[in-house]
Amino acid sequence: MSKGIRGAEGRYGWLFVSPAILIIGVFLVLPIVLALYVSLSNWNGLGSPLGNSDFIGGGNYAKVLVDTGLAQRDFGTAIRNNLYYVIAVVPLQTALALFLAVQVNRRMLKGRGFFRTAFYFPSVTSSIAITTIFIFLFTSSGAVNQVIGWFGVNGPNWFNDPRGILAPLTGAVPGDGPLGLDWAAWLSGPSVAMCVLIILAVFTTSGTFMLLFLAALQNVSGEIEEAASVDGAGPFRQFFSVTLPMIKPTLFTVLTLGLIGTWQVFDQIYLTGGGDPGKTTLTPAYLAYETSFANLKWGQGAAISFILFAIIVALTLLQRWVLRDRDLGASGVRRQKRALERLKRDAAAGAQR
Amino acid sequence: MKYRKWGAALLAAGVVAGLGACASGGGDSSGETKELSILIGTSGDAETQAVQAAADAWAADNNAKVEVVVASDLTQQLSQGFAGGDAPDLFYMSWDQFATYASNGYLEPYAADLPNAGDFYPALSDTFTYDGTFTCAPKDFSTLGLIINTDMWAAAGLTDADIPTDWDSLEAAATKLTTADTVGLSFGLEYARLGVFMNQAGGRLVDGDTVTADSAENLAGLQYVQKLHDEGVLKWPAEVDAGWGGEALGAGKAAMVIEGPWIKGIQGDFPDTNYASYELPAGPGGKSTFTFTNCWGIPANSDTADSAKSLVEYLTADEQQLAFGDAFGVLPSTESAAATYAEQHPENASFVAGNDYAVSPVNFAGSAAVISDFNAQLASLVGGDPKAILASLQEELQAALDEANGN
Amino acid sequence: MTTTEAAAAVATEQARAPRPRRRTRTAGARITLLVTYAILILLAFIYIYPFLISVASSFKTDADATQNPLNLLPETWSFAAYERLFTTVPLLQWTANSAFITVVVTLCRVFFDSLAGYALSRLKFRGQSVVFASLIGVMAVPGVVLLIPRFLILKQFGLYDSYAGMIVPLIIDAAGIFIMKQFFESIPVSVEEAARIDGAGIFRTYRSIVLPMAVPALITLFILSFQGSWNEFSHFIVSRQSPSLNTLTTGVASLTSGQLGSGNQYPLQLAAAVLMSIPVAIIFFIFQKRIMSTSEGGEKG
């Protein structure tokens, strides 16, 4: 009898997962295999890649990574742009989301529901709608420039300003860097236009991550915080020595999600002119698309996709490795230790009462 | 209740069946009525309707049905169409993508067989000749001219005698026309506009097999533009919150712009703006303007190539081209029709006149990517180093040209 | 943020002062709370105002929208943008496509994801762990990397530029399976076992016992799938080209990137952006309590 059920379970198990396996196999695994072939071929976009192309080995990868020329420089530019985007967005969105979560988690705060809704709403609207709105906000005589005009500041022409914000400092750095860009270009910082996209990303993602942090904060039982504050820790210290270590897993999740997400900017670039101004908002994701669909260099475009994939995987692994043992740095560990001891003491005191 | 057990299985099977049932796509209907699709990148409703009307007229005589599809992104949709095996039967092929498409074998070389093949402007036929074969028929052409807001012109106390004829008078007029709310001159920061100044200075990008982008003449062209911008009498449309020059002119944000006959399109949005078109002023190297053109592309080895060719013949006939000119302001691609057009539309005569000395922007397989990189680098022209921009253009364009010739 | 820090520091200092503990703590907390309010209100304003002026600007004339972007009331009310959206722009067709695709994708995802999640958490079958491990691997593949590959495979199967090609690749979502698996693992197994001992078949147990218990997770999955497929953009860029298959995202994107002549037509673009946000906003407000429930804690707000 039980054997019959086991057998049935086996059949049903496979039956239940088969749609998933089928779809994922056909629309995820198979495409990747095909694209891998295309990235190693000279397919020119006519007809099927199978039968209409020759295997050429790593030439497409070399064009992007090694051979000096426009393809390499475009890729270098895209990497530089996206790197600055990641470096700016990930810490900002994480910090803002955590700050918002802590604030709207306060028991004493009235209208928490309203605040949560307000901060979360941008996250549910589509990237297309939000980007459209941002383009409107950041025109040269637009809403943002009018507001900063009140303070006597003449706002830049955001989406059309290709100047790197660090260029005044680093413009004179000599020498050629990797991927066909000179060091001055590598160090020029995000362009003004890219800064708008950075703000846009922080604006739209902080709500989602706020919810993640909120859930985690809820799990940090109120008693622990009580205990810590009875001990005399101010809210500030309490946050860093008790709360933060406790929601560390969520913090890692948010950082990982942020890192993966920020290397995939595509929609916003598509809408703001495909890298304009001056290719300073070009990203690898968009470059891959453009190389294939507009310049008909399918192999090269697919190669860029795979390089991007490798970058994302490598950085995610690197980040996990870096954050694995060191937690919040040496001082964090010390702080955490102290907090734990205090907690034990307070818990004992509580039990006595 | 037993059927429920199979519900999941059926669904799974359905998915498989769905995958198998390939959407067979285009109708291979063996019936008499031929169905054709035309993919166009339109300048507006007027153009779409005119093309549809012309296609319908042809279809009525040829027992066919023609669907005009407006592309939201022509380049992308074309490449997806070709790779997807369902390219449109006829499409706009722009001058800057032509060589890339032709070199990859996307295009049916049909134009030389057209009865009216010899009627087109030679410069236009040359643009669409790849590897010695006149490949596709020029649809029409446009040249750039100087478009002046006549009300502002008069308000600034300028007369016909002040119409710019050279760089100095252009600068003088732009200076006079610049006010707190309006900039004297505006045009897009791109090769398709700035290249005109490089040519007017006597420069060229390509001379045979050699790229001459870093010449002193090209530099002079860029420096002149840079100077006008530094003086504040020239602004890019984006700087005055306009999407393109025409919008800047129509909304009164610029008094003069450099655009083509498509400027007519602003009459819908800005009916109160009065303007007139003139030939571009001459530079130190003489007169020069760009001519832009599209051709009617037919995909290689298409089943419907014969019908499409017949449709092209109809669409490029003088009479039909003049109708297009009336509808949305393009200039006919045949010399005879263009002459008639200039008489019928004196307001656009300057654009036709420009074609006498117009040159086509640089266009060979692989040049498009270099030009778009040049455009990107031009973004740093203000306060930047035009010499470095041209040096980089020189290097990349030469590399691209070598590659194109090597193939 | 520096002001909060300062305020927090001040509050901490006060808390250290040798006064009766309770009162100082309340006073400190009160100041902190006031500062918090000020900051939160300002932030909420920044988060909401862009949406408000977008709605307002969609009723303005072109010139009014460009010149007075901050005004919440149009100088003269103009419905031209909406009129155009419903006449010359095929907005209704885009909406119909978006709605159709979203409904199909959402239903399929909820069904297939929960099915697979259940199998992976409750049914024992050979190869289970391999399937689960591959699923996790698949979750790591970034979506944009798939643009070119998906296009290639769709066209290989002849599904390019069809509803099937737009829908089928989206109907399974590894993350959804993962969520459901986690959920099923969190509910007690006893009920099902009772049902099975009663002789109910596996599919019937799943359908009439397990699914009803899983409603909260299904709703979460529903919300995520709805939002995800309604807002999907890049997949629809590479899976179709016919204008008749435009969804709201690709359609509005074509407006924004300037296909109606390249002029800026802010009221039109904003009106489209506003309209396309309404369905997700409705879903959001209907399920707001549930979306926020993780954060609601013990007491009600």
Nearest C-alpha of chain C: how many angstroms from A286? 9
B4–C161 C-beta distance less than 8 A: no
Question: From the list B11, B22, B269, which residue is nearest C158 (CB)?
Answer: B22
Beta strands in B224-264 (DSSP E): 234-235, 254-259
**To the nearest whole number, what is the mean pLDDT of chain C?**
81
Assigned domain for C270 exists: no
Note whether C43 contacts A: Cβ–Cβ < 8 A: yes
pLDDT value at residue C17:
38
What per-residue confidence (pLDDT) applies to B158? 93
Measured in degrees and rounded to the nearest 5, phi and psi for residue B200 equal -65, -25
User: C195 vs chain A: nearest CA distance in angstroms?
Assistant: 13
* Higher per-residue confidence, A240 vs C290: A240
Q: Measure A173 CA to nearest chain C CA, in Å.
A: 33
Q: Are B323 and B54 in contact (CB under 8 A)?
A: yes
Domain B2-143+291-354's class? alpha beta
Question: What distance in Å separates residue B247's CA from the closest CA in chain C?
Answer: 6
Contact C280 A38 (CB under 8 A): no
Helix/strand/coil for C212: helix
In angstroms, the Cα distances linking A30 to A58, A149, A296, B16, B17 are 20, 54, 22, 15, 18
Which residues are within 8 A (CB) of B168 and not within 5 positions of it... i.e. 6 or more apart? Answer: none
**Which helix or strand (DSSP H or E) is residue B44 part of?**
none
- Structure confidence at residue A99 as a pLDDT band (50, 70, 90): very high
Number of H-type helices and E-type strands within chain A: 18, 0
Residue A8 to residue C202, Cβ atoms within 8 A? yes
pLDDT in tens, C177-188: 988 888 888 877
* Mutation for B interface: C110, C160, C235, most B CBs within 10 A: C160
Domain of residue C164: give its range.
95-246
| Global confidence as pTM | 0.85
Identify the pLDDT of residue C294: 47
Tokens of C29: 């907390």
Q: How far apart are CA A125 and CA A130, in angstroms?
A: 7
| C10 pLDDT more than 70 | no
- List beta partners, residue B142: B292
Nearest Cα to Cα of residue B40 among C259, C206, A265: C259
Minimum distance, in Å, between the CA of residue B174 and any CA atom of chain C: 23
Question: What's the Cα-to-Cα distance from B293 to each of B46, B321, B350, rounded to whole Å?
Answer: 18, 13, 17
Say if C105 falls within a structural domain. yes
How far is C-alpha C108 from the geometric centre of its chain's CA atoms? Answer: 17
CA distance B117 to B111: 6
pLDDT tens readout for residues A42-88: 998 887 888 888 999 999 999 999 998 889 999 999 999 999 999 99
Domain boundaries, chain B: 2-143+291-354, 145-288+366-404
For the four alpha carbons of B40, B43, B45 and B49, in that order, the dihedral sign comes to: negative
Q: Identify the residue among B15, B22, B364, B397 best suited for mutation to test binding to A, counting A beta carbons within 10 A and taking the highest.
A: B15
Using DSSP's 3-state secondary structure scheme, residue C40 falls into: helix
The CATH number covering residue C199 comes to 1.10.3720.10
CB burial of residue A315 (10 Å; 0-12, 13-18, 19+): middle
Asked if domains B2-143+291-354 and B145-288+366-404 share a fold, the reply is yes
pLDDT in tens, A154-209: 889 898 888 899 988 888 888 888 998 889 889 999 999 999 999 999 999 999 99
pLDDT for the residue numbered A344: 52
CA distance C166 to chain B (A): 12
Q: According to the per-residue pLDDT averaged within each range, which of A235-249, C119-133, C249-263 is highest?
A: C119-133
Name the residue among C66, C112, C157 with its Cβ closest to that of B19: C157
Phi, psi of B350 (to 5 degrees): -65, -35
Backbone angles phi, psi at A293, to 5 degrees: -80, -30
Residue C42 has pLDDT above 80, yes or no: yes
3-state SS class at B275? strand
- Directed axis angle between helix B191-200 and helix B367-378, to 10°? 90
B–C CB contacts, 8 A cutoff, strictly below: 88
Of A102-111, A208-217, A295-304, C186-195, where does mean pLDDT reach its minimum?
C186-195
Mean pLDDT of chain B, nearest integer: 87
Q: B56 CB near a chain A CB, below 8 Å? A: no
CATH of domain A64-322: 1.10.3720.10
**Shortest Cα–Cα distance, A305 to chain C (Å):** 5
Tally Cβ neighbours within 10 Å of residue C24. 16
* Residue B88 DSSP one-character state: -
C176 falls within a domain = yes
Which of A17, A18, A34, A81 is the mutation pick for testing B, counting most B CBs within 10 A? A18
Q: Where are the alpha helices (DSSP H) in B329-385?
A: 335-344, 349-354, 367-378
- Best probe of the B interface among A41, A77, A293, A298, by most B CBs < 10 A, is A293
Identify which has the larger pLDDT, A174 or C21: A174
Q: What is the distance between the alpha carbons of residues B184 and B175, in angstroms, rounded to a whole number? A: 6
Using the Cβ of A149 and the Cβ atoms of chain B, whether some distance falls under 8 Å is answered with no
**What is residue A46's predicted lDDT score, i.e. its pLDDT?**
83
What pLDDT does A38 receive?
A: 93
Residues of A in Cβ contact (< 8 Å) with B368: 295
Say whether pLDDT at C8 is over 50: no
Q: C-chain residues within 8 Å CB-CB of B8?
A: 115, 203
Give the per-residue pLDDT at C259: 52
Inter-chain touch A106–C36, beta carbons under 8 Å = yes
What are the tokens at C23? 């009162």
Contacts of C33 in chain A (CB under 8 A): 106, 108-109
Burial class (CB in 10 A: 0-12, 13-18, 19+), C126: exposed
For B241, the closest of A73, A141, A276 (CB atoms) is: A141
d(CA C194, CA A273): 60
Q: Measured between alpha carbons, how far is C241 from C229 in angstroms, rounded to an integer?
A: 18
Contact assignment for C150 to A31 by CB distance below 8 Å: yes
CB contact under 8 A, A128 and C53: no
Sequence length of chain B is 407
Q: What residues does each domain of chain A span?
A: 10-60, 64-322
Smallest Cβ–Cβ distance between C295 and the set A9, A13, A218 belongs to A218
| Bond from prior residue into A277 cis (ω within 30 degrees of 0) | yes
Q: What local confidence, expressed as pLDDT, does residue A122 receive?
A: 92
Please count the residue pairs, one from chain A and one from chain B, whose beta carbons lie less than 8 angstroms apart. 85
Residues of B in contact with C238 (CB under 8 A): 80
Intra-chain end-to-end CA distance of chain A, in Å: 57
Give the tokens for residue B280: 């571009």
Q: How confident is the model at residue C192 (pLDDT cuts 50, 70, 90)?
A: confident
- Would you call B205 exposed, middle or buried from its count of C-beta atoms within 10 A (0-12, 13-18, 19+)? buried
* Listed residue (A257, A23, A208, A190) closest to A97, CA to CA: A208
Joined tokens for residue C15? 């808390």
Q: Look at residue C31 and tell me whether its pLDDT is greater than 90.
A: no
Q: Is A280 on the interface with B (CB under 8 A)?
A: yes
Length of chain C: 301
- The percent of residues in chain A predicted with pLDDT above 90, rounded, is 47
Q: Is the CB of C150 less than 8 angstroms away from the CB of A27?
A: yes
Residues in C closer than 8 angstroms to A288, CB to CB, are: 144, 147-148
Q: Can you say how many angstroms the Cα of residue B49 is from the centroid of all Cα atoms in its chain?
A: 19
Specify the pLDDT at position C5: 29
**CA B120 → CA B111, B142, B279, B290, C174, distances in Å?**
11, 14, 22, 17, 58
Residue in A11, A22, A70 to test binding to B, most B beta-carbons within 10 Å:
A70
Which residues of chain A are within 8 Å of residue B373 when distances are taken between CB atoms?
70, 73-74, 279
Q: Which chains touch A (3 or more CB pairs under 8 A)?
A: B, C
User: Low-confidence residues of chain B, pLDDT below 70?
Assistant: 1-32, 407
Quote the tokens at residue C239.
């899976």
CA distance between the termini of chain C: 25
Supply the pLDDT for residue A27. Answer: 92
Total domains present in chain C: 1
CB A17 within 8 Å of CB C120: yes
Looking at the domain covering B145-288+366-404, what would its CATH class be?
alpha beta
- Helix, strand, coil distribution of chain B in percent, nearest 5: 50, 20, 30
